[in-house]
Each structure stands twice: as C-alpha cells, then as structure tokens.
Chain A
Amino acid sequence: MTIAAGIDVGTGVVKAVIFKVENGTETWLSRANMRIRQRDPMELAREAFEQCLEDANLEERDIDYVATTGEGEAIPFHTGHFYSMTSHARGARFLNPEAVAILDCGALHGRAIITDERGKVLNYKMTSQCASGSGQFLENIARYLGIAQDEIGSLSLSADNPEEVSSICAVLAETDVINMVSRGITAPNILKGIHMSMANRLARLLKSIGAREGVIMMTGGLALDEGLCAAMREQLGKMKGVTAEVANHPDSIYAGAIGAALWGAFRAEKLAAAGHLLKAS
C-alpha cells in the first residue's frame, strides 16, 4: 500500500489531496483548497496538507511521497515535483477515463494537452503570456461589474446578444468592456462576450495540437464555469472537422493535485522496488 499527497500551487488557489494506492486501486482519502488572496502560498500549502492529513486521520510519517505541481517546487517538504501538464493529464484521466485531451484553465494560463490512456502527455500548447484568456482576467472584469464570481457562469448562459471582446490583450479587452458598459450592454452579454473570446482562443489551441474528437476534459479553476464550458462547446461546434465533446467534473479544480499524488504514488512504488528510499541523509 502506498499513500501519497499531491499539492498543486496555482496562481489563485492552493489545492491538496491525499490518495491511497493498493493493488492498482486508487482511493481518494482527503482534499483541501485555499484561495491565496495575497497570503504566502508556501504557508498555505502546509496548511492545506495538514488539513488533508487530519481529514484522512493520518500522520505526516504515514505519507510515502509528497508530490508538488504548479508553482509548488519550492515547498520544502516535498519529495518530488511534477510539471503541471504531466499532473493535469493524469488527474483528468482519473476524473474521466475517457478523456483524450485536457484543457487546463487556471488563473493565469490556458493549456491544451493531448494524452494517451496511461496519462502520458503526447502534445501540448499554452496560451501566450497575456492574461486575457485567464481566470484572473475574468475575475477582474466581474469585480468591475460588481458581480460575484459564482454568478459569472449563470449570467453568461442567460445572454441574448453577446459581443466578443479582444482576445489578444487584457488591456484592450478591458477597454472593450468599458466601452460596452458605456454603451449600455448588459452584464450577461458582456460576460458571454468574454467567454466567447476566451473559448475562441482555447479552441484554436486545442485544434492546433490535434484535439479534434473524443472527450476534452476541462480542469483548473475555470472548469466549473458553465458559461465558459458552453462557449467552448459553441466554438468547437463551429470548427470544421471537430467533433470533440467538452466535459468537466465537480472536482476538476483538483486535477493537478490528483495527478501529482497519483504520479507520486507511482514513483514511490518504483523507487521502493529499486531499493531507493528517499530519506534525509
């Protein structure tokens, strides 16, 4: 039996999970997520990890491998670190074994990944540096419009005449939004316009890596934004030769942490089989 923790330090939220892996059966024992909100992500990682330990009724010494992902490589108590797309691919396959492609939409980046049935990354592409396709941008706009974050999806779904904003630059997109507000465009139409613009970018990203059919799994903080998921379906539906369907999962936000924990368990078993024990010298 192997017990592994996964900690995903994102730009906006720290996520932690603990898994038990025994004879190929993966059991999810506990989870925690904490919004960073200008706090120290390293301290939050410790807090989230301890909460997971408590919820799973475990001690730190019971953990065989603490795997980090995202920006978590500087966490001092980690055993090993996995790159985000490696973790998201594995986590998405855990949440939906049918997934052949993953769209990881977080606070700062959008990342399209193609995976095989083992969770091995076959191809990937990230959005460029600009934040206009990110959750952070969406959050900022919601704040300007005086809308709570959990209202974004439902308002976007109720839009009747959306206008797309600039998808190239967050500054231009914000200017577009200001113009829309002054022209009396409603909040649902503005939000839907932003979702359409983001989805347009993300759909092109998916197509460019060859994700055209099968299940595309949304992960990361924006995976539960139903407005964005609907816009993704619309944009992919407009693309010639693309039949892929978009799926999400209530635990999509944990995909990175889940993947890290499962890869950590895999490494712990591999290292133990090779007689390598990862203890302080």
Chain B
Amino acid sequence: MTNPTTSEIIARCQELYDDLRFTSARDWKDAEPGRKVIAHMPIYVPRELIHAAGMLPLGIMGGGDNLEVIHGDAYYQSYICRIPRSTIELGLSGRLDFVDGMIFPSICDVIRNLSGMWKMLFPEVYVKYFDVPQTYDDDIGGTFYIGEMREFLTDLEALAGRKISDDDIRTSITVYNENRRAIAELYRLRAAKPWQAPASEAYLVMRAGLTLPVEDHTRLVHDYIAAAKAEKRPIKDNSRIILTGMFCEQPPLNLIKSLELSGCYVVDDDFMLVSRWLVGDVPTDGDPVYNLSQAFLHQSMSTAAKYEPDEAEKGQFLVRAVRDTGAEGVIFASTSFCDPALLDRPMLQNVLKAADIPYIAFKYSENSGQMQPIREQAGTFVDSIKLWSAA
C-alpha cells in the first residue's frame, strides 16, 4: 500500500477539524455496543485512564470560527472568553448528545464554573471537574493527584461496569507513549525544517489526535512525517518564531495560516497541551497511577498554564525553547480575557527582554475573522527581525 500524500492526510484532518458533529467519534461509539465516549476540554487530562476503561477520549476545543453562538452568550458575561460559550452552544444544540462523560480540567475559574453548569444542564451525563495539583511536591501535590486519579478511576469503573486493572493502565500508557514519541518527532521535524511541515498542517494533524483513537492518530502522525519528508517544498526567507499563550481557546486556523503568510516559520508552540503536556515516556513498570502522577509533577511542559514557584525559573522555559529551536523571536498570542495567559504575559516578556529576545503580543478569539491587523503586526515583526536584528 502506498503512503498517503500530505494533501490527502491534511484533507482528512481538515474534515475532522470542520466536523462539529464529531461524526468519527459517533461512528466509533456505534461500531460496538456498550462503547462510551468521554469528552474533555483543553489543557490536560490523563487520557490513559479513559483509554484503559475501553472508552474514547474526545477533545472538545470549543466551536471554532464556524459555529454561531446563540444560546451560549446568555450564560456568560461579555468579559469572558469565547470557548465556554461555544462549548455550551455545542451542548445545547445536541452536537454532544452522544457523549457519556465530560471532563473539565483545572485551568481557570471560568472552566470550573462551566463544569457546574454542565451538571445542571445535562444531569444524565457524567461530569467531573478534574483538579490537578498546583504544588509540584511529591508529598503534597503527588499525594493529592494520586487521590484525584483514583477517584476518577472509580467513576470510570462505574461507567464501564468493570474493574480497570493496573495492566490495563500500563497498556494504555504504552500506547500513549508511542503517540507522544510520534508527536515529539513531528515537532522536531517542524523545528528543523519548518518549510517541510508548516504549522497550519502540523496543527491539523495534532487536532485530529483529539478526535481519533490514539492508535489511529499515532499512525497518522507517522504517515504525515513520512509524506512531509518526501515532499519537495521550497525554503523561504522567513523568520523562525515561537507561538505562546494558545493553550486553551484555540486560534482559528486562518490565524495560523496568516502568521505563516506574513513570513513566520513557527518552530514551537503551546497549542493543545492535552497531547504535549507530558514530556517523554511515562514508565510502564510499577504502579501506573503513581507513574502518571510523577510524570505530571516532574515531566511536564512549562507554560503560562503551569504554576512556577521559583521566581528565578519563571519564563526560562521560553528562553530555552528559543535556544533549542533556533527561534529568532516570540509571539505572545492569547485569547481575549484569558487570565492564565494574560496575567503571566508581562512576567514572561520581562524575561525575554532581559535575554534580548524580540517579541510581540496580540489577542484573538476562536472566531476572529479580521486577520489584517495580525498580518500587519506579524509582518512588521518579521521585517524587523530580518532587517535589523544582529543575526
């Protein structure tokens, strides 16, 4: 069988991205009686546990720019970001009527409140606000997190109607380790040769991973890497930049394309940390829940979404990312009213300033349609790097 081309793979990913009825997840559920789908919001949930229960984790990244929010606006004030409104819209319009459970990971008060609203709006659905430790100490955060995961497992067992063994979880960790390796390889390719794996394509490939079963997604990522490497694409005189602040409400695809058109090679980002929160393999021997907890505490990606207790270490992850990827600048792009991203931004900018790394900042929402100001800002930023930086 011949390897699919990048355009074939991207067309499939685009189809999944555009489908707000989540047909592929519905089809997966209908394929065998008793199957269950557990949806989750952005940031991080231990999808290994859902997989170990034989269920499909489904990432709900809001409604994007193709969903008209009618009911959702009635539930939130105008100074709240868009993702909770569009997620409510997805729920109230029946687009999530096949979902058996909805997990709200700990990211901000708005998402915490959304979990309570979901319980009231959809009493027949299993709803959990999934709290994660803010303290990365084994005895405090670790003990708390193990307890949280055990509680989640008990709930999943009740939903599945069966026990979930440690071996089930180990098998799932192995499957997700393979997925993490594939994604890390994709990111390495993009950092080394961004013209071969443009950010807009890599993004769609990553988005597919929140809809497809993980095994299928790992194959898709490998297929894409092979196809992208085989394709001859010209190198442009673009600037290598890192995008940060986009970990929860996702940017419209056009925004990523506009940045690329403006002359940016995106060599790293913090899109959809669900898939990239844990870095490297989670050990498969010993207590799997303990291993997941250790990975969360000590093997997780640093972003504005993660508390950093050491002031000296604050923002250093960005400096390291710039050095590791050979980036020439950083673009802070955050959704309007996003507290986790916008409150950290000045501190991160100070760190970049001290390290003499150029940066710009702008805001967006998932349905932003007017790209001209963003193109203008990114285009002039790229010009200033190309013409006036020392490199």
A residues neighboring B (CB under 8 Å): 65, 73-74, 76, 78-83, 85-86, 120-121, 263, 266-267, 271, 274, 278-281
Residue in chain B with minimal CB distance to A279: B235
21 contacts between A and B (CB under 8 A): A73-B261, A78-B236, A79-B236, A80-B237, A80-B238, A80-B386, A81-B236, A81-B262, A82-B386, A83-B376, A83-B379, A83-B382, A85-B380, A120-B387, A121-B380, A263-B387, A267-B237, A278-B237, A280-B233, A280-B234, A280-B235
Taking a contact as CB atoms closer than 8 A, the residue among A74, A79, A266, A281 that contacts B196 in the complex is: A281
CA distance A73 to B236 in the complex (A): 11
Taking a contact as CB atoms closer than 8 A, the residue among A73, A76, A86, A279 that contacts B380 in the complex is: A86
Q: How far is the CB of A119 from chain B (nearest CB, A)?
A: 9
Contact A83/B261 with A266-B387, A281-B232 known, Cβ cut-off 8 Å = no
CA distance A229 to B263 in the complex (A): 34
Q: How far is the CB of B375 from chain A (nearest CB, A)?
A: 8
CA distance A266 to B387 in the complex (A): 8
What residues of chain B lie closer than 8 Å to A121, measured between beta carbons? Answer: 380
B388 is an interface residue with CB less than 8 A from chain A: yes
Contact A281/B261 with A80-B386, A83-B376 known, Cβ cut-off 8 Å = no
Q: How far is the CB of B366 from chain A (nearest CB, A)?
A: 23
Residue in chain B with minimal CB distance to A270: B386
Q: How many residues of B contact A (CB 8 A)?
A: 22
Residue in chain B with minimal CB distance to A81: B263
Count of chain A to chain B residue pairs whose CB atoms are closer than 8 Å in the complex: 57
* Besides A80-B236, A83-B379, A86-B380, 17 other A-B contacts (C-beta < 8 A): A73-B261, A73-B262, A73-B263, A74-B261, A76-B234, A80-B237, A80-B386, A81-B236, A81-B379, A120-B388, A121-B380, A263-B387, A266-B387, A278-B237, A280-B235, A281-B233, A281-B235
What residues of chain A lie closer than 8 Å to B387, measured between beta carbons? Answer: 86, 120, 263, 266-267
Which of A74, A76, A82 counts the most B-chain CB atoms under 10 A from its CB?
A82
What residues of chain B lie closer than 8 Å to A65, measured between beta carbons? Answer: 237
CA distance A266 to B382 in the complex (A): 15
Q: Which 8 A-B pairs have the closest CB atoms?
A: A80-B237, A83-B379, A86-B383, A280-B234, A73-B261, A83-B380, A81-B263, A83-B383
Are B263 and A80 in contact, CB atoms less than 8 angstroms apart? yes
Residue in chain A with minimal CB distance to B235: A278
Which of B196, B261, B263, B387 counts the most A-chain CB atoms under 10 A from its CB?
B387
What residues of chain A lie closer than 8 Å to B128, measured between beta carbons? Answer: none
B296 is an interface residue with CB less than 8 A from chain A: no
Q: Which of B256-298 contact A (CB under 8 A)?
A: 261-263
B314 is an interface residue with CB less than 8 A from chain A: no
B187 is an interface residue with CB less than 8 A from chain A: no
Q: How far is the CB of A142 from chain B (nearest CB, A)?
A: 27
CA distance A266 to B235 in the complex (A): 18
Q: How far is the CB of B87 from chain A (nearest CB, A)?
A: 32
Which of A74, A83, A266, A279 counts the most B-chain CB atoms under 10 A from its CB?
A83
B193 is an interface residue with CB less than 8 A from chain A: yes
Contact A281/B263 with A80-B236, A263-B387 known, Cβ cut-off 8 Å = no
Residue in chain A with minimal CB distance to B232: A280
Which of A79, A81, A120, A280 counts the most B-chain CB atoms under 10 A from its CB?
A81
CA distance A16 to B223 in the complex (A): 41
B332 is an interface residue with CB less than 8 A from chain A: no
CA distance A274 to B380 in the complex (A): 22
Are B379 and A278 in contact, CB atoms less than 8 angstroms apart? no
What residues of chain A lie closer than 8 Å to B263, measured between beta carbons? Answer: 73, 80-81
What residues of chain A lie closer than 8 Å to B193, measured between beta carbons? Answer: 281
Contact A79/B237 with A73-B261, A86-B383, A263-B387 known, Cβ cut-off 8 Å = yes
What residues of chain A lie closer than 8 Å to B236, measured between beta carbons? Answer: 78-81, 278
B195 is an interface residue with CB less than 8 A from chain A: yes
What residues of chain B lie closer than 8 Å to A85, measured between beta carbons? Answer: 380
CA distance A76 to B261 in the complex (A): 11
What residues of chain B lie closer than 8 Å to A80, measured between beta carbons? Answer: 236-238, 263, 386
Residue in chain A with minimal CB distance to B195: A281
Taking a contact as CB atoms closer than 8 A, the residue among B237, B382, B388 that contacts A271 in the complex is: B237
Contact with A along B220-235 (1 / 0, CB 8 A): 0000000000001111
What residues of chain A lie closer than 8 Å to B262, measured between beta carbons? Answer: 73, 81, 83
CA distance A38 to B252 in the complex (A): 29
Residue in chain A with minimal CB distance to B231: A281
CA distance A119 to B347 in the complex (A): 33
Residue in chain A with minimal CB distance to B377: A83
